[in-house]
Chains A and B, each alone.
Chain A
Amino acid sequence: MKSNGLSRELAGIVGADGVLWRSEDLMLYEYDALSSMRRPDAVVFPRTTEHVVQIAKLALRHNLPLVARGAGTGLSGGSVATEGGILLGFSRMKQILEIDLENQRARVQPGVVNLDLSMAVADDGYYYAPDPSSQKACTLGGNVAENSGGPHTLAYGVTTNHVLGLEIVLPDGEVIHTGASHWDRPGYDLTGVFVGSEGTLGIVTEATVRLSRKPEAVKTLLAIYNQVVGATRTVAAITARGITPAALEMMDGFCLRAVEEATHAGYPMDCAAVLLIEVEGLKEAVEEHADEIEAVCQENLAREVRRAKSAEERDLLWKGRKTAFGALGRISPNYYVQDGVIPRTRLPEMLEFIGSLEKKYDLRIGNIFHAGDGNLHPLLMYDERDRAQTARVIKAAKEIILRCVEMGGSITGEHGVGLEKSDLMPLIFSDVDLDLMGRVKNLFNPQGRLNPGKLLPTGKMCGELRGGLLGGGAP
């Protein structure tokens, strides 16, 4: 089917100004933050659930793939239309439908930007807790699809812990409502399965999410180390002491220098690693925990522990952290970021291992990650024009992932499986495990037209990283 005919039909549903079909327009939608892949046949911008229903039925009639896309900030290729078809853009479904502070809930359309929701309730003392680094751009629909995390999910949980109910359009156009705005609705927790299903089970057209009360007090600490191992030991020690900071992030010296040059946040240029630690809650509890954490940092040979003295200073430190990936883009043409997870006690060992790979493969690998929950983000720097170097990056990346698995960890903590890691799934799941997932997929998406090629292994390249897909982008 030609794009022209398809776009006319789509325009019949959403209006002519809601469809893109010229190749120069479609080019903008052929990639996400992982990589570029292929162009969709058309991009359509629904305004209502009914539009999405009509579009789903149209895709069904023409047997076309249907791929939902939020802001395209995903890091695993989740919103790339690998087999063409219709790409649903949600930039016209970005209304906060209801803010219900009495019930600590909000009802939103999928295109609402993550940070916009927090801003909308900030004056009333509330916020939406999951805070991916891309929160200024990424959408709640995308967050639901990917079960996104962020620095502050250490204490408060990831997206799935904050989504109560969903409105979903299934690939045949049927609309279902899962969950509720209250606890314990009887029945299977379908919401729990749709969150993190990466757009392969249904298209979310509305979400009911929890709003959290802003803490009374916040303290942000910066612990500075001359040796990486001091920082990683501190992380394990803080966890072992039973302190759960709101956030516990690590940046190594290599990343820091890039960040500092880009943001001038006041990070030291000459250290091996820093920990950015935040404690929140009751004033008294925050003071106690900050003191205790400072003591743990000192015990583990921190050179210095600074406390942010003002909100501005705190914001600057976080700006450095949240824009770090962009800063790294200034010093390397390409980088590949991984998302493996390991038990927190194994961090010292893992960072040492990653350091050894730098030597083994003659690469630069930066580390900037959610240390508190063991969620690594090693950044392997390369220049894609250098094919030998690219090949070494692939090998090193594979060694890191295999080590994560050996340590009892996971291949992805928050970026999702997507296109990038679908063929790594057999590293942690057996055929039986994958078969159960497959049954769920076949139930909701029997023809596989919904976001094809994502999440479950395609069987084409078992256990291999797809070399051609390496990319780099926003955090």
Chain B
Amino acid sequence: MTLAVDSLRAGLDELVGQRKLLLDIADLGAFSVDGKIPDGAVAPSTAEQVAAILHYAGEHHLAVIPCGNGTKLAMGNSPRRYNVALSLKEMNRVIHYEPADLTITVEAGMAFGAFQDLVGKNGLWLPLDPRGGREASIGGIIAANAAGPLRQGFGGPRDMVLGLKIASPDGKIAKTGGRVVKNVAGYDLGKLLTGSFGTLGVMVEASLKLFPKPQERATFSMWVGTLGLARELRRSILRSPVDAMRLVLLDSTAARLLDDSTQAPGRPELELWIELGGSNRVIERCTHDLRQLASAVDAKLVRRDGAEKAWEHVSNLPLWLRPKYPDLTVLKAALPLVASEEFLSHAQQEAESERIALACFAQVGVAIIHLCALQETLGANVAAWVIRLRQAAADLGGTLVIEHGPLDLKSNVDVWGAGGDDLEAMRKLKVVWDPLEVLSPGRFVGGI
């Protein structure tokens, strides 16, 4: 039996103190997940408090959903149960920072923007452009393994986490990894937690690898006539010595959403955007190479000054597009590199025949493709469309997840898709770590 709401609040209150307990129903609304509003929300300020809350939740059969600043609460399946929102936003201190070592340890609730500002003073950065942007929390970024287009140049959170401190679902504090850049002591449990969407533990601290910021950056767009030519260009860039930080192919809708100032007739069907980083000399050299590669496919190379805002949008599709399209659906296909263009072509045809307005943002260098169905209201045909696209992705050797979508869609289609022959192992893992199903029950793959 779950506790009555009043005694739950009293119990949490005792654990963390009145000041930290958010009781206001209006506040609770901010923590709603797929329309489910928790009975209480807490913002503890220490790891011990986080552990105590989880322990308490286990004792009282309560379900807890951890969050940082709530930028990714819309991801995942709808929770089976949801009693307590556990906000890490009070936990935003720096625990250890030695710029010369290129490592840092911070509390998990620290906002990404504040983090970048801090390390930026030393010319460093964490080369990620996660969903949620500056608002996203470090813990949330790791829990969602949230990587944007910068993955092209630098990999994702998985490659940057050195160690984690977590509160385990049974209310204990554990650590994994360390804060040095190389470490093979013990099982790499940090990998399990990275991308686990708050189902295995609550991150309270993270040690991360930092990188020197590039001296200069430059963005170019290349206007390409057809998907076939885009494919040629993608292949030749990936084979060239040019190291892109970001590489995103936009269809004409996506390109116009990003920049509607260029309405010139003859604007092409596709634009391949690339960001370069390095010294002026390096950028000059790469620009020279790119111009040659582009001209080989009759593409025009255009420098895009002030592209940072556009890149922000591309890594933050729901936040950017949802005000305009309330029933926006964002799908993410992950594919073998060769399959990007074929999948795009398929998706475009499907959208056309279903009369779904589509915008495509394809990170073609890593084959992560975001399809946005630009809808003010959800069409009845969208669920079937998603299922067909998922099959198309599977046929090409990839997967497709719903990154953002209206509840109607999410209640009809599993956001993650079917698991593989390792799903049973994942389920068992969840059971041995969280037998009481305290953390985020039902939100992850296969009902985990």
Query: CB within 8 Å of B: which residues of A?
Result: 100, 102-105, 125, 146-147, 149, 153, 157-158, 160-161, 175-178, 180-193, 195-197, 201, 213, 215-216, 236, 239-244, 281-285, 288, 341-345, 370, 373-375, 408-417, 421, 425, 428-430, 432-437, 439-444, 455-456
Contacts and interface: CB of A to CB of B under 8 A. Distances in A.
B98 A345 contact: yes
Contacts of B432: 439-440, 442-443
Nearest to B423: A187
Contacts of B200: 188
Contacts of A343: 98, 101, 103, 179-180
A432 B171 CA distance: 11
A189 B195 contact: yes
A243 B212 contact: yes
Nearest to A421: B185
Interface of B: 96, 98-103, 123-124, 145, 151, 155-156, 158-159, 168, 172-176, 178-192, 194-196, 200, 211-213, 235, 238-239, 241-243, 278-279, 281-282, 285-286, 332, 334-338, 366-368, 397-399, 401, 416-417, 419-423, 425-426, 428-429, 432-433, 444-446
Nearest to A184: B334
Contacts of B241: 213, 215-216, 281-283
Nearest to B51: A432
Given A186-B445, A242-B212, A432-B172, A440 B184 contact: no
Q: Which of B124, B213, B425 has the most CB of A within 10 A?
A: B425
18 contacts: A102-B235, A103-B337, A104-B337, A125-B239, A147-B184, A177-B420, A187-B444, A187-B445, A192-B188, A283-B241, A283-B285, A284-B279, A288-B281, A343-B179, A344-B102, A414-B182, A432-B174, A433-B176
Nearest to B191: A192
A416 B433 CA distance: 25
A183 B184 contact: no
Contact of B187 (A177, A243, A440): A440
A234 B385 CA distance: 58
Contact of A437 (B189, B285, B446): B189
A429 B281 CA distance: 47
Given A190-B425, A242-B212, A443-B432, A147 B188 contact: yes
B188 A160 contact: yes
Give the top 3 A-B pairs by smallest Cβ distance, nearest first.
Answer: A192-B191, A242-B212, A240-B100
A282 B242 CA distance: 7
Contacts of A184: 145, 332, 334, 368, 399
Nearest to B281: A284
A177 B426 CA distance: 12
A374 B168 contact: no
Contact of A182 (B123, B159, B173, B336): B336
Given A188-B429, A288-B281, A437-B187, A342 B180 contact: yes
Q: Which of A215, A216, A433, A434 has the most CB of B within 10 A?
A: A433
A185 B189 contact: no
A420 to B, nearest CB: 12
Given A176-B425, A186-B416, A436 B183 contact: no
B371 to A, nearest CB: 15
Contact of A428 (B123, B178, B285, B423): B178
B180 A440 contact: no
Contact of A429 (B158, B175, B417, B429): B175
A147 B422 CA distance: 21
Contacts of A186: 399, 401, 416-417, 419, 445
Given A189-B194, A409-B178, A417 B168 contact: no
A417 B185 CA distance: 6
Given A104-B337, A409-B178, 10 more contacts: A176-B421, A180-B334, A182-B397, A189-B145, A240-B100, A242-B213, A432-B168, A433-B175, A439-B433, A440-B187
Contacts of B190: 192
A374 B162 CA distance: 14
B192 A239 contact: no
Contacts of B173: 432
Nearest to B100: A240
Given A282-B285, A439-B432, A190 B279 contact: no
Contacts of A341: 178, 180-183
Nearest to A183: B334
Contacts of B211: 244
Contact of A408 (B178, B196, B285, B397): B178
Contact of B425 (A216, A416, A444): A444
A373 B181 contact: yes
B365 to A, nearest CB: 10
A196 B183 CA distance: 10
A473 to B, nearest CB: 18
A440 B422 contact: no
A207 to B, nearest CB: 15
A344 B209 CA distance: 13
A288 B426 CA distance: 47
B245 to A, nearest CB: 13
Nearest to A281: B243
B186 A425 contact: yes
Nearest to A285: B282
Q: Which of A181, A183, A288, A439 has the most CB of B within 10 A?
A: A183
Q: Which of B102, B416, B422, B445 has the most CB of A within 10 A?
A: B422
Given A285-B279, A410-B185, A182 B99 contact: no
A300 to B, nearest CB: 14
A193 B189 contact: yes
Contacts of B366: 183
A187 B401 CA distance: 11
Contacts of B398: 180, 182
Contacts of A201: 187
Contacts of B181: 341, 344, 373-374
Contacts of A158: 182, 184
Contact of A188 (B176, B180, B195, B336): B195
B417 A176 contact: no
A244 B212 contact: yes
Nearest to B190: A192
A429 B190 CA distance: 14
Nearest to B99: A240
Contacts of B185: 410-412, 417, 421, 425, 428-429
Given A196-B184, A242-B212, A443-B429, A102 B337 contact: yes
A105 B159 CA distance: 18
B425 to A, nearest CB: 6
B282 A190 contact: no
Contacts of B168: 432, 436
Contacts of A240: 99-100
A375 B182 contact: yes
Contacts of A412: 183-185
Contacts of B421: 175-177
B194 A192 contact: yes
Contacts of B334: 180, 182-185
A444 B422 CA distance: 12
Contacts of B419: 186-187
A434 to B, nearest CB: 8
A104 B186 CA distance: 30
Nearest to B194: A189
B422 A161 contact: no
